[in-house]
């Protein structure tokens, strides 16, 4: 759809970061439009797991953004069509590890005795967390945007200069695309692969803290389960790797044997928009007020609402 009038804000990008940011700005009463090279269902965000699992907790901003996001996702979970559900599960590590404070403070947090952990793990704890079926959730956000009258145009932006005068404020939510658009050579892809299988009856999540490229997680979403995962920095191949997929199923089946013969529905591959730290700041480019909101790596969902709040405040429009 071609965009009609000049809005307060033009959000560039329609992944989870662009859509949540646009919802937050529209809720605040601003007129918002979205311009994106790819629609929501074709973004990296659509191929995420996805769990609210805060990490990189040495960055104070990240602690705050994840907490804001958890509170917002808990409210969204009240709508069963949103793709967000609150699910209890087990988080483990193969080495001695203290649970992070943001998890320890949750209402139903409890340490898991060592003799109840799957083989190979020495630390573990249980808590309830939002789990997100990303394709459904992106549809939920899109429906909310339609409700606010936000229009979306599908087209690539080659430079910010071409957007001069399009809106009072531009917001850059282009994820990995920021590498070329900004350009920002601190942005790089981290390839991830997941396997989606029929759910043999799993109702709790499982995820481990791995210190290597191959992690193990099991995220149930009703009729299907997302099995993970992998994280290969610097790789930008979107071709599924069948050997890695078989290894994912094997690792998850060692934890939950009912998965061994579950029918495989799909192998998903996505490129996380990695950066040493998330970039959220106000900038002036070719005469445009530009707010950057990119570089969320493997935590785009987990940080989305906290970052959207930050953009609203940086916009200085309310």
Binding site for ligand FAD (CB under 6 A): 12-18, 36-38, 43-45, 47-51, 156-157, 173-177, 181, 192, 194, 229, 270, 272-273, 294, 296-302
DSSP state of 29: T
Supply the minimum distance, in Å, between the C-beta of residue 294 and ligand FAD.
Answer: 6
Where helices occur in 77-166 by DSSP H, the ranges are 101-104, 134-147
Measured from the CB atom, the residue of 297 and 306 that comes closer to ligand FAD is: 297
**DSSP-derived 3-state class of residue 225:** strand
Distance CA 129, CA 147 (A): 28
Dihedrals phi, psi of 246, to nearest 5 degrees? -65, -35
Q: Least distance in Å: CB of 312 to ligand FAD?
A: 16
| 31 versus 232: smaller Cβ distance to ligand FAD | 232
Contact between 197 and 264 under an 8 Å Cβ cutoff? The reply is yes
For residue 78, the tally of other CB atoms under 10 A from its CB is: 9
If the CB atoms of residues 75 and 261 are measured against ligand FAD, the closer one turns out to be 75
Q: Smaller CB distance to ligand FAD: residue 122 or 156?
A: 156
**Cα(36)–Cα(150) distance, integer angstroms:** 13
Strand 32-36 vs strand 9-12: parallel, antiparallel, or unpaired? parallel
Residue 132 token pair: 């997100």
Beta carbon of residue 49, minimum distance to ligand FAD (angstroms, whole number): 4
Nearer Cβ to ligand FAD (113/212): 212
| In the complex, minimum distance from the CB of residue 113 to ligand FAD, in angstroms, rounded to a whole number | 27
CB of 295 to ligand FAD, least distance (A): 8
């Amino acid at each position: 759809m071609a965009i009609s009038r000049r809005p307060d804000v033009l959000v560039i990008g329609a992944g989870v970061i662009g859509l949540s940011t646009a919802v937050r700005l529209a809720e605040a009463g601003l007129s918002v439009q979205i311009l994106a090279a790819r629609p929501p269902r074709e973004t990296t965000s659509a191929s995420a797991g996805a769990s609210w699992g805060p990490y990189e907790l040495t960055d104070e901003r990240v602690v705050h953004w994840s907490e804001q996001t958890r509170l917002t996702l808990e409210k969204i979970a009240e709508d069963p069509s949103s793709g967000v559900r609150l699910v209890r599960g087990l988080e483990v590590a193969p080495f001695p590890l203290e649970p992070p404070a943001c998890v320890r403070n949750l209402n139903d947090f409890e340490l898991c005795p060592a003799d109840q952990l799957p083989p190979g793990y020495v630390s573990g704890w249980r808590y309830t967390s939002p789990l997100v079926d990303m394709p459904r959730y992106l549809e939920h956000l899109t429906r909310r945007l339609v409700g606010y009258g936000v229009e979306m145009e599908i087209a690539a932006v080659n430079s910010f200069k071409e957007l001069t005068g399009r809106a009072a404020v531009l917001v850059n939510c282009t994820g990995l695309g920021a590498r070329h658009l900004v350009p920002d050579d601190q942005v790089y892809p981290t390839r991830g692969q997941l396997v989606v299988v029929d759910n043999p009856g799993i109702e709790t999540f499982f995820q481990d803290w791995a210190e290597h490229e191959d992690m193990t997680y099991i995220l149930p979403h009703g009729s299907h389960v997302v099995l993970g995962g992998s994280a290969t920095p610097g790789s930008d191949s979107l071709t599924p790797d069948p050997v890695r997929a078989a290894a994912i199923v094997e690792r998850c089946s060692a934890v939950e044997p009912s998965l061994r013969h579950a029918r495989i529905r799909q192998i998903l591959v996505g490129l996380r928009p990695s950066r040493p730290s998330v970039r959220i700041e106000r900038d002036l480019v070719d005469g445009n007020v530009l707010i950057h909101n990119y570089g969320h790596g493997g935590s785009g969902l987990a940080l989305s609402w906290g970052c959207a709040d930050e953009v609203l405040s940086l916009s200085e429009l309310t």
